[in-house]
Structure 1
Amino acid sequence: MTDQTAFDPLFQPLPLGGLGLPNRIVMPPMTRSRASQPGDVPNALMAEYYAQRAGAGLIVSEGTWISPLGKGYAWTPGIHTDEQIEGWRKVTGAVHAAGGRIFAQLWHVGRLSHSSLLGGQSPVSSSALQAEGVNVFIADNDGRPGFVQASKPRALSVEEIREIVGQYRQAARNAMAAGFDGVELHAANGYLVNQFIDSGANDRTDAYGGSLPNRLRFLDEVTRALIEGTGDRQRVGIRLAPLTTLNGCVDADPETTYTAAAKLLGEIGIGYLHIAEADWDDAPHMPVAFKQQLRAAFPGVLIYAGKYTGERARTALDEGWADMVAFGRPFVANPDLPERLRHGAPLNMHDRDTLFGGDARGLTDYPTLAAAA
């Protein structure tokens, strides 16, 4: 094993919103469904999980729903009750004690939910368009997990849209009260903000639909609300997924749409843009030329995620279209991933059966290099 840290682009420091990030490695948001019941409250097990991974330059928490209608999956944590905020304080305290930095990913799933998770109510969306063939993770009355087709949503009224913008603002305040270093808006992967942006999920004819500026209006308003909630535009990041087509969201002209979104967010002055590339087999390829367009449009920190290896990440940083790189699945099974990348050490493989729900198995029991030795 070799240590090339002094010359390694992955291990160069980076300033972000007054935070001195020690490296360019990001732990991205990953749903693990371990929140305590009842109440979907973050707990000591989650605190241990995140603290184990504090060697990342930046941790972004799992998706954290901002209001009861924003929930889409069983056992995922919220950030709108006093108990949830107190639970997150345990997590952020543990991460900071271990020397890390952590942003809260704020989440409203929109139509990607089921009435059983919403007290019998219908999910909400930009439009009354069902995400056909999309399943969501629920628990039955006996607590057994399973997947069911997402329920048909109803379209939000303009008054309700304004209420949700306010919920995002309050969620950002709650995140800061819980000790987070900042917030990331989940505007990717077919969730609510994405349901306004992508033309195939938005058939509105008012100020929130039709033209590209109208489809970006909700993103604009929520982003500004998060800045108000955190008190610092540099402590706000946005996650976008231009080409993923996940969960039924498709745009007719993604390069134009997402370059415009990047330009808008750059003008607002947020701290970072987090681009989720499609990473499944036969997924659409994101050309470097598109990434360079986003680089030209957005002056802040650019993070990319999507099956990156250490080698691919270093190339992205060297070529300048990425400032940080996120490693999702590798962080599941490698709590000391930065050290493994630093030394070119082999990686543990994750156990698919323990990704969602359960206990410490498959969450906090993966060995570090030191433990393995």
Structure 2
Amino acid sequence: MNKDFIKKTILFDNHIDLGAKMICYSGFYMPIQYTSSLTEHMFVRNNAGIFDVSHMGKLILKGKHSGKLIQYLTTNDICKIQIGQAQYTCLINDKGGIIDDLVIYKILENKFLLIVNATNIEKNKKWINDHIKKHEYFDTELIDTSLKYSILAIQGPLSLFYAQKLTNIPLNRISYYHFEIGVFSGIKNVLISCTGYTGSKGIEIYVSNENVEKIWNDVLEIGKSKIIPCGIASRDSLRLEMGYRLYGQDLSEEITPIEANLSWIIKFEKKFIAKKILQKQKKEKKHKKFISFIIENKNTIPRKGHLLIDENETTIGYVSSGGYSPVLKKSIGLGYLINQIKTNKIFVLIRKKRISIKTVKLPFIKIQN
């Protein structure tokens, strides 16, 4: 990517000052790590860490038929949440493939905040706007606020203890996938949600760009040695331990939520795009199969694109995400079986070596929050 077109979050200089190693990620300069990904990973599991995830897309959908449009374009049931709640769902195409996975916040009865993956912002906007015009929802408006607001994720077992010092909102009373809007670090109209991508206890902060630096500095100051800045490398290993899917690796437009083992966010009792296709896929069970696995050999790490093979060395699938679990001290991975196999023996091919894997249920680790 041309460096002239790489965006910077508001906290770019703060990351540099803290010694972060920066890389291009999803079109933004992002900190991959400050110390080491292993140190940052375990700090989040045992103490707390703060992440700048301002690269994520932030779309506002509002208007009389905004809820009806979301209901048609996504798989989950937006009618099941109230104002002050959030919902994980998928935006799908005409064939049932995943355009994006996203979190939707119900701000008002006819106003929603959509948090989408950075690389999918323009694609999502076009898809939604095309349907606004197609279905003549002229009173529905999509507004891109991605470059006006920032997002901070404060994650870890000590996160709420320290964050509470900066707000009068009782953070422990915010239920999972709920949010409140109020004062944080002296800043008004901050959205505080009990969500995150690490599996550990924590909150995410949505704030205007002009105020994000104050909150970032105040959190690090109030937490001192108990909250450290963390990069996207540890964020990736943390989400992998929980088995959370990553768009562009575990999810794509060629993969349906059924194939991705996300049937729990498909509500067939409602009308939505590609419903019949997904119903048929669920009934016939002739689709690729999502798996999660462990490798006992600590010195062997599976990576995206590694092939999965059977005992006859026939290719039967591929690894979509892989890495090392600092908590388990083992290698773990996610992947897909593309053939209807009749064997329990599955191997991953790494540097021409056949390595045995053990399929397990998610999550890989249990968090005591």
The TM-score normalised by the length of structure 2 is 0.25
Structure with more helix by fraction: 1
Larger radius of gyration: 2
Structure with more strand by fraction: 2
